[in-house]
Each structure stands twice: as structure tokens, then as C-alpha cells.
């Protein structure tokens, strides 16, 4: 059967692949195309969606694409960068300014087929540096957003030309945090493009099994099994596709695991009938030795990934299975954040995407059953495969483990940058009755599809959760050099904050393990473990006032696919418990809770 199809043009935005996923969820085939593909490649589609990008439309970046798409007699929609390119192509103006991060309110000017069934004000998700400030003669402003606490009107958040069937959203309807984004995409794909929902995912599992058999071509697989949902689903999928006799599992204790994690993983895999296929190695000394003295987060990630490969290859030789393929539970966010598509910016290098593994992939030596899926799709697949609920819905734990939750520093703060941040941040925080303290440490973030490595800001003061989160959002929009806000659980702001020189050590990791265990136990006792999607605990080498040399941040987030996230609210009783229990650990100078959305802060600090 010939299926109606939508082309998604991937300009390297963090969410381009997610657009295709959302279209396919409607029952319509979606295919990723490159901007420079010849016009003939686009003629068979019923519609086109132009993705976001790390490039700046205002500066003419990435402008040498196949603009003949605009001559095709099919509807075209643009999201973020795509929205700006459509406006510019038809006589509008785009400027570098009016940046927005995170949630915003879209105010619709009138009823329109794109927003059929929706209200006059919709919650949407923004992540952009550039803005449309004028549109061509055939276009109209369909909606606008509010910019800043003072309610300044940010125009042209949605534009359209019914005559040309060209539409643009400054926001990202494809992310889960745009509350009715799925309906907006459906209105475009099913309504304006007139696509028939004939493409089905019912046979996805069988197609995946057939694909794995073809890829393996009779070769057995040696899978790195962390015990998380991704590697576990990958293991069960491979066992079903290739037969359990053609699958070996390797669990490595890299010294960066949570408290008692390896023991629990081995017990869990054993209960699932995989115990006889698993090999365990304690390589903690090797990993910690390789990380000794390393401060830079990207270098830490690369070392962890490369050491995994070294251990894998050594164990494969020891077991006499060096001819096996390397299996990994890689999912799509790992690929896109590592700059794994042609135009994507490197946000952070995931341990399963370091150069040595990329070389193995190019040589056909790696099999990754889940590489095109997001966490929510992996979990659905796990349920379909019959995995236990506690395994499918456990909190995600990154491959580099606590290595990326243990911040390191050379102990030399950037005083000039902190002074630049301070006044603007303090002025905004003061409007909300809070005090702001720029912190002499950096964390990884993402702004407008670009990596940023900027300073967190400590907010102190007695205020309701919603007001603290609102203040953080305003700071991200207005204050330069800030990509993360954390709320001080102490009643008063610190009089002094000093950064300490620190790297990866077993003693620091043991302290982090204890703090993490207290946070996880608190979530379970308060019935929040299944509500909060993930809750990293972070150890930061900061001395507050006369306290110890380590500062602890708890990072509860709400998400589905990890591409976007909102801070998850913890009850006051739990926050007070964490303040006292974690704060009582030896060497801890204070405790805070991260109130940052993604963007601009990634879920993990590094």
C-alpha cells in the first residue's frame, strides 16, 4: 500500500527526529531528509516540516539549502529556525534578539485550522535566540507570546498564509512540554496536508527482530549491560531475535555506580533468566585511575567511554569471544546530544558515542537495537516484551554513572564572569523577593540547540515553589551567562562561597553515593518515585561559609523523552528532611534543589 508521507527536513535541531516520531504516532509515515537533498526527493510528500537548528537565521547561517521546496504545491510548516526561514523567504524580517527559554504562553489572535480544538491561550515551549519581527504581505500573525515579567508582547510566535499554505511556529510543538503540541502537529498533518493515517506501528516489534537478525548476520553479540531499562530491553530484544545462546552480557562495576547498584543489577538480571549469560568484572580501580586529576567534563566522558571499550575488548579476549559484536543500549538522545547528525551541535559526548565506538560502528562491529527510540518508546517496548514493571519504570541512570554527577574544578573561579552575571541576576531575583548568588563553578546546558557551559545561580529566600521556578525562568531570559538556577534549602543566603580544587576520587564518590541513597529513599517514602522521572544527586566542590568542602544539589525532573524537562516539585517536608539528613553527612557545606528546565540546563550537570 502506498502511504501518505511527510518530509522532516533536519537542520540539526535537538528535536528533529522527535518531529518524525510524533508524525508517525499519528499513523502517518514520516521520513528525515537533509536540507541539501535534490528537489526531486521532496516531490512525493504530502507536506514538509522544517526543523529547528543551532544555526542563526538572522545571520544567514545554513542558508544554502534546497529552497525550491517553497515552490512545491504542498503545505510547509517550520518550527523555530524553520519558522524564521519561512518568514524570511516570503519577505519577513528576522532579528537576533527576543530570546526565550522554557515554558511560555501562546496567545492566539483568532480561530485557525492549525489550532482547531484548542483554547485561546496555550502553554508552549521555547528555545531560541532569533525572532521574527515582521512578515510578508501574504502572511498574518496567528499568535504571540509574553516576554518578561513586565508582560512585553513578543510578536509572531505563530504565523501563517492560508493562500500559500505556509506556516511557522516560533515554539516547539513536537516536545512534550508544549501541552497540546501533538494536536497542533495533527492539525497540520491530517488536516491541512490531508494525510491518511494508514501507517501502523503494530508490526514494529517483528520488524525490529527481523532487522536485528539481518544486522547480526549470524554473529553473536556481547552486550554491555548496566542494568538500566535501556540495556535490559536491548538484552531481551537481542535474546529473542538471535537466541539466548548467541548473547553474552557484561556488567562492569566502574566505581561510578550507585550504592549497592552492581549487586542489585546482577540479582535483577538473574531473576529475568539472564543470569547464566552474564559476566561481571570489577574495573573500578581502572576507571578511577584513568580519571585521576581530570576536571573537564567532556574529557571525563571520553575517558569513561574509552575505558568501557578497553574493558570490553579485554574481557572478550579472556572469554574467547573477541569475534562477537559489541551490543549497546544506546537511545536517540545519546546520539543527538553528541552531535550525531550532520548539523547537530555537540551538547555532551555520551560514553557510547566516543570516537573509538564511532569507529567500531563504521566498521559494522556494533549493534544498537534502540538507537532510534526515546525513553518512553523503550519503556513501551519493554512492556510489550513482558519485562517487570519495576525494571521498565526505574529511574534512568546514565552510562557514565556518578562520574557526571561529581563535579570537578581546578579551584580557580572566573571572577570577571561572576561579576558580570551578578547585577542582572540580583535585580531580577529581587523582584521575586529572592537573593541571587552566582556560583564559581560551571555546568553544561543547551540554548537554542547549542551547547553552553555557564554558571549556576543560587537563589535564597522564603518563597512558594512556583514563584522560585518563575524567577528562574525570568533569569534565564534576561541574565547573561546563567544556564541553571538552584534553590538554597538553608534559611539564609551564604556570606561566602569558595570553589575547591577537586577531581574524581573514591572518597568523593562514596560521599555522593550516600547523598544519592538518602534522596532516593526520600522519594520512595513520600510516594514520589513513580511521579518524578529522574532525580540526579550532584556533588559540587563548593565551601559555603564555615561549612565543609562539598555542596549537594538534588535535581528532580519531569520528562518523558529527556529532550525537554521541567523541575519536579518536592514537598516542603521532604526538602526539610534532605536538608538535615544530607547536610549531616561529613564534609557537606549545604543542600539545594535544582529548579532548572531543559533548556537551558541539561538534565545532568555534566
Whether residue 268 has a cis bond before it, omega within 30° of 0:
no
Q: What is the largest CA-CA distance in the chain?
A: 72
Catalytic residue among 172, 251, 324, 351: 172
3-class DSSP assignment, residue 154? strand
Task: Quote the distance between the C-alpha of residue 55 and its chain's center.
Answer: 19
154 part of the active site: no
Helix axes 465-478, 415-431, angle to 10 degrees: 130
Q: Which residue has the cell 521532604?
A: 574
State how far the Cα of 442 lies from the Cα of 552, in Å rounded to an integer.
15
CA 308 – CA 452 distance, rounded (Å): 27
Burial 213-224 (b: 16+ CB within 10 A, else e): eebbeeebbbbb
Interatomic CA distance for residues 290 and 504, integer angstroms = 10
Q: Which residues, 6+ apart, have CB-to-CB distance to 133 below 8 Å?
A: 92, 93, 94, 95, 98, 155, 156
348-367 in b/e form (b: 16+ CB < 10 A) is bbbbbbbeebeebbeeeebb
DSSP state at residue 70: G
Question: Which residues on neighbouring strands pair with residue 29, listed in sequence order?
Answer: 5
Q: Which H or E run contains 435? A: strand 435-438
CB atoms within 10 A of CB 586: 9
**Can you give 249-289 as a three-state secondary structure string?**
EEEEECCCCCCCHHHHHHHHHHHCCCHHHEEEEECHHHHHH
Structural contact between residues 585 and 514, judged by C-beta atoms closer than 8 angstroms:
yes
Q: Beta strands of 286-419 (E only): which ranges?
A: 325-327, 366-367
Beta-ladder partners of 154: 145
User: Is the distance from CB of 523 to CB of 535 less than 8 angstroms?
Assistant: yes
Rounded Cα gap, residues 191 and 259, in angstroms: 52
535 labelled catalytic: no
At 551, list the grid cell: 555542596
Catalytic residue among 80, 195, 452, 535: 80
Assess contact for 318 and 270: CB atoms under 8 A.
no
∠ CA 175-177-182, nearest 5°, is 55
Number of H helices, E strands in the chain: 16, 25
Candidate list 85, 122, 174, 606, residue with the active-site label: 174
For residue 485, indicate whether it is catalytic: no
DSSP annotation of 244? G
Contacts of 458 (CB under 8 A, 6+ apart): 436, 437, 438, 439, 485, 486, 488, 493, 494, 497, 592
Which residues are catalytic, by number?
80, 172, 174
Amino acid at each position: 500500500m502506498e502511504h501518505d508521507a511527510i518530509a522532516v527536513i533536519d537542520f540539526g535541531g535537538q528535536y528533529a527526529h522527535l518531529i518524525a516520531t510524533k508524525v508517525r504516532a499519528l499513523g502517518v509515515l514520516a521520513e528525515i531528509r537533509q536540507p541539501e537533498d535534490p528537489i526531486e526527493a521532496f516531490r512525493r510528500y504530502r507536506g514538509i516540516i522544517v526543523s529547528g537548528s543551532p544555526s542563526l537565521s538572522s545571520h544567514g547561517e545554513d542558508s544554502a539549502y534546497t529552497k525550491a521546496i517553497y515552490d512545491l504545491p504542498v503545505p510547509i510548516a517550520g518550527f523555530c529556525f524553520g519558522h524564521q526561514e519561512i518568514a524570511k523567504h516570503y519577505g519577513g524580517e528576522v532579528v537576533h534578539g527576543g530570546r526565550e527559554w522554557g515554558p511560555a504562553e501562546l496567545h492566539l489572535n483568532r480561530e485557525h485550522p492549525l489550532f482547531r480544538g484548542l483554547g485561546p491561550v496555550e502553554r508552549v515551549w521555547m528555545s531560541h535566540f532569533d525572532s521574527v519581527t515582521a512578515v510578508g504581505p501574504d502572511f498574518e500573525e496567528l499568535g504571540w507570546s509574553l516576554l518578561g515579567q513586565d508582560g512585553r508582547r513578543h510578536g509572531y510566535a505563530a504565523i501563517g498564509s492560508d493562500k500559500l499554505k505556509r506556516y511557522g511556529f516560533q515554539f516547539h510543538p513536537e516536545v512534550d512540554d508544549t501541552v497540546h503540541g501533538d494536536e497542533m502537529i495533527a492539525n497540520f498533518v491530517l488536516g491541512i496536508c490531508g494525510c491518511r493515517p494508514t501507517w501502523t506501528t503494530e508490526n514494529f516489534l517483528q520488524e525490529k527482530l527481523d532487522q536485528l537478525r539481518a544486522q547480526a548476520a549470524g554473529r553473536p553479540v556481547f552486550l554491555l549491560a548496566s542494568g538500566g531499562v535501556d540495556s535490559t530491553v536491548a538484552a531481551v530484544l537481542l535474546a529473542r531475535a538471535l537466541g539466548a545462546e548467541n548473547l553474552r552480557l557484561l556488567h562492569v562495576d566502574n566505581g561510578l555506580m550507585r550504592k549497592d547498584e552492581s549487586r542489585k543489577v546482577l540479582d535483577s538480571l538473574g531473576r529475568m533468566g539472564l543470569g547464566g549469560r552474564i559476566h561481571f568484572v570489577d574495573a573500578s580501580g581502572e576507571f578511577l585511575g584513568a580519571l585521576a586529576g581530570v576536571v573537564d567534563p567532556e574529557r571525563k566522558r571520553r575517558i569513561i567511554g574509552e575505558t568501557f571499550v578497553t574493558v570490553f575488548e579485554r574481557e572478550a579476549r579472556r572469554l574467547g569471544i573477541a569475534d562477537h559484536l559489541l551490543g549497546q543500549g544506546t537511545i536517540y538522545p545519546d546520539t543527538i546530544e553528541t552531535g550525531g547528525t550532520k548539523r547537530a551541535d555537540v551538547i555532551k559526548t555520551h560514553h557510547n558515542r566516543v570516537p573509538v565506538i564511532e569507529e567500531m560502528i563504521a566498521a559494522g562491529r556494533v549493534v544498537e537495537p534502540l538507537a532510534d527510540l526515546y525513553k518512553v518508546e523503550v519503556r513501551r517496548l519493554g512492556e510489550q516484551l513482558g519485562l517487570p514493571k519495576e525494571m521498565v519504570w526505574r529511574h534512568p541512570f546514565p552510562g557514565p554513572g556518578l562520574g557526571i554527577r561529581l563535579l570537578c574544578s581546578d579551584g580557580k573561579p572566573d571572577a570577571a564572569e561572576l561579576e558580570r552575571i551578578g547585577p542582572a541576576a540580583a535585580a531580577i531575583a529581587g523582584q521575586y523577593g529572592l537573593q541571587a548568588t552566582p556560583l564559581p563553578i560551571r555546568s553544561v546546558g543547551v540554548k537554542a540547540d547549542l551547547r553552553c557551559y555557564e554558571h549556576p545561580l543560587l537563589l535564597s529566600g522564603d518563597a512558594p515553589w512556583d514563584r522560585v521556578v518563575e524567577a528562574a525562568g525570568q533569569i534565564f531570559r534576561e541574565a547573561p551567562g546563567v544556564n541553571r538556577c538552584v534553590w538554597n534549602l538553608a534559611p539564609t543566603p551564604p556570606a561566602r562561597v569558595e570553589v575547591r580544587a577537586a577531581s574524581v576520587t573514591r572518597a568523593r564518590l562514596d560521599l555522593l553515593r550516600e547523598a544519592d541513597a538518602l534522596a532516593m529513599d526520600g522519594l520512595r517514602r513520600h510516594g514520589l518515585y513513580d511521579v518524578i522521572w529522574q532525580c540526579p544527586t550532584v556533588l559540587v566542590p563548593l565551601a559555603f561559609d564555615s561549612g565543609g568542602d562539598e555542596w549537594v544539589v538534588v535535581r528532580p525532573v519531569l520528562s518523558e523523552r529527556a529532550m525537554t524537562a521541567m523541575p519536579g516539585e518536592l514537598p516542603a517536608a521532604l526538602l526539610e528532611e534532605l536538608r538535615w539528613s544530607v547536610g549531616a553527612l561529613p564534609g557537606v557545606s549545604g543542600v539545594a534543589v535544582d529548579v532548572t528546565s531543559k533548556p537551558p540546563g541539561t538534565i545532568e550537570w555534566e
